[in-house]
C-alpha cells in the first residue's frame, strides 16, 4: 500500500467512525450513484424551457383575479419575478395579462400549461430515480399528469402566500428589520413549500416525516439563492458579457437554475440517506460497507421494467461462498457415487 492510499484509507476510516461526516459522504456518494448531475441538468433544461410560460400563466391568472386592483397586480408581478435573476427586469416590463376573447385566453392558457407541465414530469422522474423506485412500480402517464397539475396548484398557492407575507412584513416594518424579516419569512415559506412539493412528487410509500430533513436544509438555501444568487450571477456576467454578449444572459440564467436544481436533488438524496440509514459509505473499495451494498442493490433493482422480471444482486464474497458450497456438494455426490459403484473382482 503506497503512502497516498494509506492516507486516503485513514481518512476513510475516520469518516466512517463519525456520524456527521459519514452522513455527508453518504449523501454525496448517493448523488453520484444516481447520476445526480445528469438529473440536475435535465431539470435545468426543462426548467429553462418552462420558466417563462409558467410565469406568464401565473401572472395572467392572478391578473384576472386581481382585476381592478393595479397596485396588487404590480405587487404580485414584482414578487413573482424578482426571484429570477437576469431576466427579472425584462419580464416585469413586458408581462401583461392576456387580452381578447375567452377562447383566445383558453387556448393561450392551455399552451402555457402544456409547456409548464414538462418540468413537473421531469421532477417526478428525478424523485423516482433518487428513491430507486423500480420501473414496474412507477405510475403511468395520467397519474403523473394529475400530480403535475397538483404541483402547479401548490406553486401558485405558494406564490400568493409569499406575496401576502412579503407585503405584510414590508408594511409592518421598515429598513433593515424589514429586509431581515422578509428573509426569515421567505425561508419559512420556502421550507413549507418545498415540503409540499416533495410530498406531491415523492412516491406515496415514503412517509411525510422522511421528507422533512432535506426540506429544512433546502428552504434556507433557496432563500439564499434568491437573495444573493442574482448578485453572484450579475458579478460573473460582467466579464462574460464582453465575450458572449447577449448570450451571457442565457448562461447566467442557466447557471442560476442549475444551482436550484442541484439543491433540489441533494435535498432529496439527503432524505433517502437519512430514511434508509445509508451510511457509512466507503471512499475506497474494497471492501464494501453494508450501505454500499444496499445502494448498489437498489440501483440495480430499479431497472425492473416488467412484472415478470426479477433482478437479483450478488456480490463477490457471496459468489465465492456459493461456489465453494456447490463444489462441496459435487464432491459429496461423487463420493456417494463411488461408494455405490460395484467393485471389480
The string of pLDDT tens digits covering residues 69-100 is 666 656 655 554 555 555 555 555 555 554 54
Q: How far is CA 18 from CA 11, 23, 279, 294, 313, in A?
A: 11, 9, 10, 20, 29
Instruction: Work out the average pLDDT over 95-115.
Output: 60
Cα(70)–Cα(63) distance, rounded to whole angstroms? 9
How buried is 23 (Cβ within 10 angstroms: 0-12 exposed, 13-18 middle, 19+ buried)? buried
User: Is residue 185 pLDDT above 50, yes or no?
Assistant: yes
Least confident of 135-139, 142-146, 330-334: 330-334
Q: Count of CB atoms within 10 A of residue 163's CB? A: 18
Q: Which three cell numbers stand for residue 131?
A: 428513491
Instruction: Work out the average pLDDT over 141-160.
Output: 87
**Cβ burial 246-257 (10 Å sphere, 16+ → b, else e):** eebbebbbbbbb
User: Is residue 24 pLDDT above 90, yes or no?
Assistant: yes
Q: What is the pLDDT of residue 88?
A: 54
User: Is residue 345 pLDDT above 50, yes or no?
Assistant: no
The pLDDT confidence band at residue 203, using thresholds 50, 70 and 90, is confident
Nearest Cα to 125, choosing from 208, 53, 35? 35
Q: What is the pLDDT of residue 264?
A: 96
Instruction: Work out the average pLDDT over 238-257.
Output: 69
Question: Which of the two residues, 19 and 57, has the higher pLDDT score?
Answer: 19
Cα(345)–Cα(335) distance, rounded to whole angstroms? 20
User: Is residue 343 pLDDT above 60, yes or no?
Assistant: no
User: Is residue 322 pLDDT above 70, yes or no?
Assistant: no
Q: Count of CB atoms within 10 A of residue 170's CB? A: 14
Please give the mean pLDDT across all residues of the chain: 78
The pLDDT confidence band at residue 108, using thresholds 50, 70 and 90, is low
Question: Which of the two residues, 332 and 181, has the higher pLDDT score?
Answer: 181
Q: What is the pLDDT of residue 66?
A: 59
| Alpha-carbon 3 to chain mean position | 38
Instruction: Work out the average pLDDT over 312-337.
Output: 60
Q: What is the pLDDT of residue 105?
A: 61
Encode 152-216 in three state secondary structure. HHHHHHHHHHHHHHHHHHHHHCCCHHHHHHHHHHHHHHHHHHHHHHHHHHCCCCCCHHHHHHHHH
User: Is residue 317 pLDDT above 90, yes or no?
Assistant: no
Question: Which of the two residues, 264 and 180, has the higher pLDDT score?
Answer: 264
Instruction: Work out the average pLDDT over 135-141.
Output: 91
Q: What is the pLDDT of residue 156?
A: 78
Q: What is the pLDDT of residue 25?
A: 96
User: Is residue 148 pLDDT above 80, yes or no?
Assistant: yes
Least confident of 163-167, 242-246, 269-273, 289-293: 242-246
Q: What is the pLDDT of residue 334?
A: 52
Question: Which of the two residues, 194 and 243, has the higher pLDDT score?
Answer: 194
Cα(201)–Cα(295) distance, rounded to whole angstroms? 21
Q: What is the pLDDT of residue 239?
A: 60
Amino acid at each position: 500500500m503506497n503512502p497516498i492510499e494509506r492516507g486516503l484509507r485513514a481518512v476513510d476510516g475516520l469518516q466512517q467512525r463519525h456520524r456527521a461526516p459519514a452522513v455527508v459522504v453518504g449523501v454525496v456518494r448517493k448523488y453520484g450513484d444516481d447520476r445526480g448531475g445528469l438529473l440536475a441538468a435535465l431539470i435545468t433544461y426543462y426548467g429553462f424551457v418552462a420558466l417563462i410560460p409558467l410565469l406568464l400563466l401565473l401572472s395572467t391568472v392572478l391578473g384576472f383575479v386581481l382585476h381592478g386592483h393595479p397596485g396588487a397586480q404590480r405587487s404580485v408581478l414584482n414578487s413573482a419575478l424578482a426571484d429570477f435573476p437576469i431576466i427579472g427586469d425584462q419580464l416585469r416590463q413586458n408581462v401583461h395579462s392576456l387580452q381578447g376573447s375567452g377562447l383566445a385566453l383558453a387556448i393561450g392558457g392551455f399552451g402555457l400549461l402544456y409547456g409548464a407541465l414538462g418540468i413537473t414530469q421531469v421532477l417526478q422522474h428525478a424523485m423516482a430515480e433518487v428513491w430507486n423506485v423500480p420501473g414496474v412500480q412507477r405510475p403511468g402517464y395520467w397519474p403523473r399528469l394529475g400530480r403535475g397539475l397538483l404541483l402547479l396548484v401548490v406553486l401558485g398557492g405558494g406564490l400568493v402566500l409569499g406575496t401576502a407575507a412579503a407585503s405584510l412584513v414590508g408594511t409592518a416594518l421598515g429598513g433593515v428589520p424589514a429586509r431581515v424579516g422578509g428573509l426569515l419569512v421567505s425561508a419559512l415559506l420556502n421550507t413549507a413549500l418545498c415540503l409540499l412539493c416533495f410530498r406531491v412528487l415523492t412516491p406515496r410509500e415514503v412517509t411525510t416525516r422522511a421528507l422533512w430533513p432535506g426540506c429544512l436544509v433546502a428552504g434556507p438555501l433557496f432563500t439564499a439563492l434568491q437573495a444573493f444568487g442574482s448578485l453572484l450571477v450579475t458579478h460573473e456576467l460582467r466579464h462574460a458579457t464582453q465575450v458572449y454578449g447577449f448570450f451571457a444572459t442565457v448562461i447566467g440564467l442557466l447557471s442560476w437554475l442549475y444551482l436550484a436544481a442541484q439543491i433540489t436533488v441533494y435535498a432529496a438524496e439527503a432524505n433517502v440517506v437519512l430514511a434508509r440509514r445509508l451510511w457509512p459509505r466507503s471512499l475506497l473499495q474494497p471492501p464494501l460497507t453494508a450501505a454500499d451494498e444496499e445502494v448498489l442493490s437498489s440501483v440495480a433493482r430499479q431497472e425492473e421494467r416488467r412484472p415478470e422480471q426479477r433482478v437479483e444482486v450478488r456480490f463477490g464474497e457471496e459468489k465465492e461462498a456459493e461456489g465453494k458450497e456447490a463444489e462441496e456438494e459435487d464432491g459429496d455426490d461423487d463420493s456417494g457415487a463411488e461408494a455405490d459403484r460395484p467393485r471389480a473382482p
